[in-house]
Structure 1
Amino acid sequence: MEVPLSKIDAVADALIHARRTRNLADAAPLADALTDTADAYAVQQRVARELGGFEAAAPQYWKSGGPSRGAVLTHARLPPAGVWTSPAQSGTWPFHMRGIEAEVALRLARDVDATLAETLDAGSASALVDAMTVSIELVDSRWREALGAPALFKLADLQSHGALVLGPWIPFAARDWRAQTCRVQIGAQPAVDRRGTHSLGDPAFLLTAWLRHATLDGRSLPAGTVVTTGTWVGILHAAAGDLVTAEFPGIGRASVQL
């Protein structure tokens, strides 16, 4: 007698099939399958184990963030094959959509395990970072509902991650993030300029929550691990053939040819 899939397995299998076939999965029939973030993270881990590509990866790459300091921050480990150095070309990388987020990524100077993570506060977590860079996240979805899928389904799908482009690294230092500007240019579209619009006010604010999540269950993060910290421009929309650039004066610039 065939054993029915658990609800978490059903969501994971839908995402695994979507990634392997480069097709889209329907979230609607699975609407009640995920009840909390723990379920979504369990799906992330099941998909990562099944598809491989993470096991020997050092450094690791993550995304983390949330809509405000009062919200629950969420996290996803990213496939290293989809992390590219600027100037990048997306080539034949599969996309169903090409959302663009301009971000600042941070890099760990040392290994971090759960024991260390539990001792951290905002200041001591920031002291673990040695460098920062401009990053462009390409937003994508394996769900047919795309960004209209339920929040837990987007979290299960690596927070709607497609690929990540990293610019040149510079030393990390405290700065007035409220005064920080960024400019994004997508193809022939008008440039988008923003100032002080990071949802958490400071990209480093998420470090403590991210490090504690990423070191659960005996896991550790090696020195050089990178976390990208959330968009300054919401989600902009690009098309195949567009050249996308993001510039944060005083930090740097990154670009990707789609």
Structure 2
Amino acid sequence: MTTDQLRTVAVTRYVTPLREGGSLPALAEADDGFLYVLKFRGAGQGEKALIAELIVGELARLLGLRVPELVFAELDEAFGRTEPDEEIQDLLKASTGLNLGLHYLSGAMTFDPVVTTIDARLASEIVWLDCLTMNVDRTARNTNMLMWHKELWLIDHGAALYFHHTGQPWQDFVERPFAQVKDHVLLPHASELEAVDAEFRARLTPDQLQAIVANVPDEWLTDRAFESEAAQRAMYSQFLEARLAASSIFIQEALHARQALS
């Protein structure tokens, strides 16, 4: 599977807010006639949440996991002027330009671990990805997975790569165990972590990681701690390459967490 440049669509209609958490995503229609779950650059975590959403979503796709198509969603400056809700109007004004859209999976149901059992291989692949990217948001309380046409789809990766919010050097996080894996909703089923680790480490090349990160648009790279957009972009690929090389650390943490469940 290869990494392709994301499509760009223009938002034509704001359908309804999806009042989940504090980021106020929305269901919106674009000029290609499709509906998208829109993630706004003007929301609470700003562009960094979109960066994490893009990078981790495309990593998942590259590894063969199901993720709704991600698109760049262009929001015109005039869009939302007629929106009566002041909070939403302010959000739309702050989000002029490129935002991120996830193809809307109409009729999808939230994954319920009590109802649906995921096989060991798929569970291990998802746990591995979340450990690599430090995704804290795949718990029983908030699985961020959907069942659509009897298949499991991954959504909402904006909380991953959380180190970029801390102000600390990214190097401090490369060899950090992912302790939050103990709360991962799929950990009880993830009995093939070591086999998945060996395969995925072999499959993810530096060129592939850099190609994914290259999709991040310059206008999202606004961290003034970096001398340029290119330097901030390079940080993400450097982190992922180094984290991948040190995967044995987070794998051991996950294995210990699995042992503690028994």
User: What band does the TM-score fall into relative to the shorter chain?
Assistant: 0.3 to 0.5
More relative contact order, 1 or 2 (CA 8 Å, 6+ apart): 1
**Which of the two has greater helix per residue?**
2
TM-score when normalising by structure 1: 0.35
TM-score when normalising by structure 2: 0.35
